[in-house]
Chains A and B, each alone.
Chain A
Amino acid sequence: MKKYIALYLMIFLFAAPAFAEVKVVTTLPWIGSIAKEIGKDKINITTLIKPMQDPHFADAKPSMILAARKADILMYNGLDLEIGYLPRIIESSNNPNIQPGKTGNLDCSQFIMPIEKPSSVDRSMGDVHPLGNPHYHFSPKNILNVAEGMANAFSDIDAVNADFYRNNLQLFKDRLADKQKQWSSRTLKGKKYIAYHKLYEYLAQDYGFQILGYIEPKPGIPPSAGHIEEMIELIKKAKPDAVIATFVAGKKEAEALSLRTGVRSVVLPQDVGATETAKDWFSLMNEVLIGLK
């Protein structure tokens, strides 16, 4: 018995050394990728949602609860995207540091300007997010704000390395400014697309293209045969540049529409790690922008 008590004491002691790397838990892969840019080797990242998983639907797996238990900081997308599992993970983690309102609880959406916030909403409209479109990770200007928010949060938690995080933020800003020059030369202005899910609205706003319609009749509701027929009509009439979907949602439908109409289908990674080449947020953006071209 004494041996076990000693063992537990040791676990406690090793669990909270003040100078170890910051334990970061993120829900989505892209959040982990930005965190890596800011925290580099001073942080240790665990990502709860896998790249090929639909972030709207996940189970609060015990392994996720355990990761949250050990976290110094939990960073999530917000705007209710993770509402189906994250509140449960946070409460069951038995970790006081990551509870809402604590410095270890970082809602990344607090740094961005949500779009498509409905003035009234009910569930007859499907899975509409009342706080606005939660898929802001394709928006460089929003991501810049998120990175800054992260740098502040890391500096709060790990004050000793505050300068390190600020410096990395500056490096990130510079790199992003460079990339944006490159990206803005890829003109997507005036292009028209049909998309499966409302995933590209921020990007459309930043790059001046248009999403004409959605293969999903309402967010989160798979299309009926009738709706597919309507889509075919729309595609024939409006002649979009492509039908876009992700590997996680809508690939099959987009390819079927492409076959029926002759308009090309593009399957894009929805998050970091969904394809081999999209290994961080920059390459994810690259791949999406090239795909849309």
Chain B
Amino acid sequence: MKRQGLLLFIIFTLCLSMPSYGSDIESRLKALEETLQSQQKTIEEQQKVINELRNELSESGKEVASQPEEKPVEEAKSQKATGLFGSSVLTNPNISLILNTFAYSSNLKEEELETRNIPGYTTEGIENRNGFNLESAELFLFAPVDPYFNLYATIPVTEDGAEVEEAYFVTTFLPYGLQFKGGKFKSGFGRINSQHPHAWDFTNIPLPYRAFMGGEGIIEKGAQLTYLPPLSFYTLLGIEVLQGDNDVLFGPDAKSAPHAYTAYAKASFDIGDNSTILFGPSVMTGKTKTDSIAEDTEFSGDSTIYGLEFTYKWKPSKQQGFILQSEYLYRTQHGDLEDTVAATTESLRRSQDGLYIQGIYQIERWRLGARYDVLDLFKDDYILAGTDTDFDRKPWRATGMLEFNPTEFSRIRLQYNHDKSARDEKTNNEMLLQLIFGIGAHGAHPF
């Protein structure tokens, strides 16, 4: 553990001390600038001629006066689309690739990590391995389809292959503040769910999300309708019909039809120029069939999650900022739990909740963050065949994080987790050094 920690530290310092820029690029830049300047002169001379012509024209007649203005635009366009494949600039979608990789170190052994679940919530363990991990190289594509639709796709490529994580269209033509989204997409439920992992403030998802819907949140095939009324403050209303494939919360076999629904509202207002508050409730309900509640069981029933989100952002300048973010989730579930070994079925009713709260402080290119997540906060009912199982030991985790962002396209993050989520005496002390790099044209991130 110690040695690995030292190794991580060395890599980290190496990463920080690396950027010394070659003078080669500098000289090439200079040469480029010179070329540009000489081109600029030519353009200016041409502009002069154009201006003279324009003056002559405006003297001879007023109607033609507006024509010369369009000249530069035409010139600019023709410069853009030249060469054999010049038009591809206009026809290719925006493409970006984001590499998300991390080094991981835990005091626990591989076998312990694999089986490190949250009793009473989920049997899913931790996939990280001590040493080097590749989260994914994620391909993003987006472009307008036509004047009516925009298209987005997210294709993470992992060592297991490529998958279509998201592929959806968004309408741009609907009136009355309506927008329709269809395909496979991240649900608008809650706050963190719709963000991409590379945009998270910490390497991993908060405990309540992991416990209720798994490590990636709710990504489903379905349809979404949002409505933004023209009120005096921001209020976004959304509803979704989802297939319900998430195998922790719903399960593809629960029903052979769309069987999950969400509804949410998000309200926001600014306090002065620098501060913004965003908050709102969400609800998600659907049919469940899952084997992830306890070993050798299968559960069928109904599930509902209620969520409350709150975000406060303070951003007085590019150099400084602070974000306080919290979400509270409450899940109720009832149905039948079948023991697949003993072939017996009991009724199961679960009402459980969880919360995370995190703060991020940014100064210049550094960001410092802390997070606390907890389950069984106010409610921890696990009633099997009429008897409430007492699991003891509230699952919780504390996280600290330090980030250096050389530019908006690169991120180096050191994170420490003190994880007591498995309800045993063992603590999982995790250390992560995460690197995120993005190339290409990446879409703007939401607030």
Contact = CB atoms under 8 A, between A and B. Distances in A.
A119 B83 CA distance: 13
Nearest to A120: B32
Interface stretch (A93-101, A175-183, A274-282): A93-101
A62 B408 CA distance: 21
Contacts of A152: 66
Contact of B72 (A57, A65, A113): A113
A197 to B, nearest CB: 12
A118 interface: yes
Of the four ranges (under 10, 10 to 19, 20 to 34, 35 or more), the interface on chain A belongs to 35 or more
B69 A145 contact: yes
A185 interface: no
Interface stretch (A25-33, A82-90, A234-242, A255-263): A82-90
A70 interface: yes
Nearest to A7: B229
Contacts of A11: 229-231
A102 B443 CA distance: 21
Contacts of B173: 96, 99
Interface stretch (A36-44, A156-164, A187-195, A215-223): A215-223
Nearest to A149: B69
A152 B69 CA distance: 12
A111 B69 contact: yes
Contact of B228 (A50, A94, A117, A248): A94
Given A59-B447, A87-B444, A96 B233 contact: no
A127 interface: yes
B397 to A, nearest CB: 28
Contacts of A56: 318
Contact of B444 (A60, A95, A149): A60
Interface stretch (B3-11, B269-277, B340-348, B375-383): B269-277
Contact of A118 (B32, B228, B236): B32
A43 B310 CA distance: 36
Contacts of B317: 52-54, 248
A116 interface: yes
A11 B227 CA distance: 13
Interface string B150-177: 1000000000000000000010111111
B43 interface: yes
A12 interface: yes
Contacts of A63: 233-234, 268-270, 276
Q: Which 7 A-B pairs have the closest CB atoms?
A: A62-B268, A62-B234, A88-B444, A113-B72, A66-B234, A94-B179, A54-B318
Interface of A: 8, 11-12, 15, 50, 52-54, 56-57, 59-63, 65-66, 69-70, 83-88, 91-96, 99-102, 110-120, 123-127, 145, 148-149, 152, 205, 217-218, 220-222, 248-249
